[in-house]
Structure 1
């Protein structure tokens, strides 16, 4: 009747091509990644603000707005509101973000204060 050849043993697939592809992807992503920080905001964290002089300058950043020493303040006018509280623009200004504030709002406010000349921003928890 029918004469079938003996069943051949199934070959196991080679893993070498897959390992080569993974290695090439690893090299590609390592070369394409950015390792440097392009923009950094200098900060004093915690107690690195130096000697404190003058009235308190606590800026609280929340999702609903900004408060300076507990008083609601317009973010655009924050630099002007800080003027009477500082002797020089190198005096420390304490920034505290509440739990519902987003990082973008904090960074935008820090950039605005840095552009206004405030150099000693202290970020606290």
Structure 2
């Protein structure tokens, strides 16, 4: 039974990581400030490098979201573990923001961590999930 659960979790985890990696494409996660088609080649190259640099952080965020979902769906949720996982997610978001600042990327707008859908976490003044 434990082995089946472990295999199931591993399959879900891999599927989440693969779907997140495959979602990277033109325009993915650029937010309002970068979606305009008036980027210079230099700006486009800088942003492409930024996306490449934060890919491990985005994958980590997907992993943390999956783990948080699993923690929340337990019969008796461990609220301390949930709080710790949420703090890890905030730390990853902060790291993405730092990398954006270091790369000179400004005006990211909503969607950097959510693939351009809905109210994003960066630039919106909230810590949603």
Q: TM-score range by the shorter chain?
A: under 0.3
Query: Which protein is richer in helix relative to its size?
Result: 2
Q: Which has the larger radius of gyration?
A: 1
Structure 2 length as normaliser, TM-score?
0.25
Structure 1 length as normaliser, TM-score?
0.26
